[in-house]
Amino acid sequence: MSARIEPRDPIEAATEGNYKWGFETAIEMEIAPKGLSEDTIRLISAKKDEPEWLLAWRLKAFAAWRETCEPEWAKIKHPPIDYQDLHYYAAPKRKPGPKSLAEVDPELLATYEKLGIPLRERAILAGVEGAEEATPVAIDAVFDSVSVATTFRETLAKAGVIFCPISEAVREHPELVRRYLGSVVPAGDNFFAALNSAVFTDGSFVFVPKGVRCPMELSTYFRINARNTGQFERTLIIAEEGAYVSYLEGCTAPQRDENQLHAAVVELVALDDATIKYSTVQNWYPGDAEGRGGIYNFVTKRGACRGARSKISWTQVETGSAITWKYPSCILQGEESVGEFYSVALTNHHQQADTGTKMIHLGANTKSTIISKGISAGRSNNTYRGLVRMMPRAHGARNFTQCDSLLIGDRCGAHTIPYIESRNPSARVEHEATTSKIADDQLFYCRSRGLSQEDAVNLIVNGFCKDVLKELPMEFAVEAQKLLAVSLEGSVG
């Protein structure tokens, strides 16, 4: 497969905004034929040397998928997706399983360098303003369908932490994968989760044993490269009793005219007193200023707070994708368990985001916090959709929700759709919502102090998002701020 470079209209290029991650890597790929059938699934399973139980699980998911329809309740519009016109497996050609970074294709390493994700084992993101000292971050890099490198594995292993591609976990730790896979998001949970369960190719696996505090941030960097290929990654994170882990994922894709499908599933399990902090900086290609191209991002993320006093905290900064359909949720089963959802969703041009969370309170004295900041610019549509459900046994449970929307310009839309169900009279649910526009007097005030119009908008937007950005690990908060600035380009003036 070769990269084509075509001359582009300079005006178009200038008005498109700067998606700096839109390059394509020319690398030899192994690609399965288009189309989805049991044979495709058998092929994927065979490629990955999977045990029989996993193939059976995939086939069951596929059967469930065929029985379900694409959900239609979200406030998004797109032409029908032809699921038979996609490739379901694409992998860089290589010798089976590189044992070390030295064996990874240099072209791939160069790609990640270009993305600012050095896969060498050293403290990354050094020199970031405000960071006292750069902490090392272990990275799993997933390129199209496969994991190409995982760093710092030995250091982590010493602490007892398993961090590896999920395909490898299936081979090396089958008992763990079998126990937890699909235990939070069942194979047939919804249309996109079923699709993922049938065809997922890789993703990250994290296991933090009892009493261990993971010694470094874990991070997975997803990159879609191949054309007409769906990306279906699967992430499974388990924190045993008293364990702590902070995990971050980043995502980019080349700039292309056609739409590309991404349907991931993430499952988190927290046992007694465990904490999982999961942060996402989602920057899939959003499409151009006219709404051509971009990733369709249909993602199911769910965490189960199984143990007492366990805590799962989702933080997401969503700036990319033509369509975002994503509701990271918490099932608060253990007594006094805590669920948190901090979200910034920014849409510009013709982007559509329908995102939010579900907090399902099962246990007594469970607590959840939802802070959602939606920013709409251009002709985009941004919807917060959230469910807070207090079940009969959730005595003394509490939720606080705050949804703020910021509009830039007068052709975009912001929508807030909160669902609240309470079946326990002692549970307390609070919901606050605001919608505002960046006011002319705010812009003028900033400009009169010397800030350009764009800097002023960035400053105001960053201020608006502060409550969420402060939840991100410091280095990534700085990255996220820059990302918001880039995503807002061309939204004013």
Partner 1 sequence: MLEIRGLTAEIDGKPILNGIDLVVPTGEVHAIMGPNGSGKSTLSYVLAGRDGYQVTGGEVRLDGVDLLALAPEERASAGLFLAFQYPVELPGVGNANFLRTALNATRRARGESELDAVQFLKLARAALRDLAMADDMLKRNVNVGFSGGEKKRNEVLQMAILKPKFAILDETDSGLDIDALKIVANGVNALRRPEFSALVITHYQRLLDYIVPDRVHVLAGGRILRSGGPELARALEESGYAGLGLEALGESVS
Between CA 51 and CA 74 the distance in angstroms is 37
Contact pick of 462, 478, 485, 486 for partner 1 (by CB under 8 A): 462
Between CA 181 and CA 269 the distance in angstroms is 10
Contact pick of 123, 459, 474, 478 for partner 1 (by CB under 8 A): 459
**Phi and psi (nearest 5°) for 175?**
-65, -40
Between CA 386 and CA 390 the distance in angstroms is 13
Contact pick of 30, 121, 168, 467 for partner 1 (by CB under 8 A): 467
Binding part of the chain for partner 1, among 7-15, 357-365, 395-403, 464-472 by CB under 8 A, reads 464-472
Could you tell me where the beta strands, DSSP code E, fall in 258-310? Answer: 259-262, 265-270, 275-282, 294-305
Q: Give DSSP secondary structure letters for 170-182.
A: HHH-HHHHHHHTT
- In the complex, minimum distance from the CB of residue 434 to partner 1, in angstroms, rounded to a whole number: 10
- In the complex, minimum distance from the CB of residue 183 to partner 1, in angstroms, rounded to a whole number: 39
Asked if 410 interacts with partner 1 (CB under 8 A), we say no
Asked if 15 interacts with partner 1 (CB under 8 A), we say no
**Which residue pairs from 41-45 have beta carbons closer than 8 angstroms and sit at least 24 positions apart in sequence?**
41/198, 41/199, 43/89, 44/88, 44/89, 44/199, 44/201
Cα–Cα distances (Å) from 123 to 11, 120, 127, 336, 482, in that order, read 40, 9, 10, 36, 20
DSSP lists the bridge partners of residue 366 as: none
> For residues 420 and 486, which CB has a smaller minimum distance to partner 1 in the complex?
486
- In the complex, minimum distance from the CB of residue 464 to partner 1, in angstroms, rounded to a whole number: 6
Between CA 181 and CA 193 the distance in angstroms is 12
Q: Is residue 318 within 8 Å of 326, Cβ to Cβ?
A: yes
Binding mask 112-141 for partner 1 (x = CB under 8 A): -----------------xx-----------
Contact pick of 33, 46, 463, 482 for partner 1 (by CB under 8 A): 463
- In the complex, minimum distance from the CB of residue 315 to partner 1, in angstroms, rounded to a whole number: 16
Asked if 30 interacts with partner 1 (CB under 8 A), we say no
- In the complex, minimum distance from the CB of residue 451 to partner 1, in angstroms, rounded to a whole number: 5
The CB density around residue 469, as the number of other CB atoms within 10 Å, is: 21
160 burial via Cβ count (<10 Å: 0-12, 13-18, 19+): middle
> For residues 162 and 483, which CB has a smaller minimum distance to partner 1 in the complex?
483
Closest of 393, 347, 186, 357 to residue 278, by C-alpha: 357
> For residues 84 and 434, which CB has a smaller minimum distance to partner 1 in the complex?
434
- In the complex, minimum distance from the CB of residue 448 to partner 1, in angstroms, rounded to a whole number: 5
Q: Is residue 321 within 8 Å of 349, Cβ to Cβ?
A: no
Tell which positions 436-455 bind partner 1, by CB under 8 A: 439-442, 444-453, 455
> For residues 79 and 130, which CB has a smaller minimum distance to partner 1 in the complex?
130
Calculate the CA dihedral of residues 37, 39, 45, 50 and round it to 10 degrees: 120
Asked if 457 interacts with partner 1 (CB under 8 A), we say no
- In the complex, minimum distance from the CB of residue 491 to partner 1, in angstroms, rounded to a whole number: 17
Binding part of the chain for partner 1, among 117-125, 132-140, 264-272, 457-465 by CB under 8 A, reads 457-465
- In the complex, minimum distance from the CB of residue 455 to partner 1, in angstroms, rounded to a whole number: 6
Q: Please, which residues have CB within 8 angstroms of residue 404's CB and are 6 or more apart in sequence?
A: 372, 373, 374, 433, 434, 435, 436, 464
Contact pick of 460, 477, 483, 488 for partner 1 (by CB under 8 A): 460
> For residues 56 and 439, which CB has a smaller minimum distance to partner 1 in the complex?
439
Asked if 9 interacts with partner 1 (CB under 8 A), we say no
Contact pick of 362, 465, 477, 483 for partner 1 (by CB under 8 A): 465
Calculate the CA dihedral of residues 146, 266, 21, 168 and round it to 10 degrees: -20
Asked if 432 interacts with partner 1 (CB under 8 A), we say no
Q: Is residue 97 within 8 Å of 236, Cβ to Cβ?
A: no
The CB density around residue 427, as the number of other CB atoms within 10 Å, is: 22
Asked if 482 interacts with partner 1 (CB under 8 A), we say no
Binding part of the chain for partner 1, among 36-44, 264-272, 339-347, 460-468 by CB under 8 A, reads 460-468
- In the complex, minimum distance from the CB of residue 367 to partner 1, in angstroms, rounded to a whole number: 24
> For residues 154 and 440, which CB has a smaller minimum distance to partner 1 in the complex?
440
Between CA 375 and CA 381 the distance in angstroms is 9
Applying CB under 8 A, the residues found at the interface with partner 1 are 129-130, 439-442, 444-453, 455, 459-460, 462-467
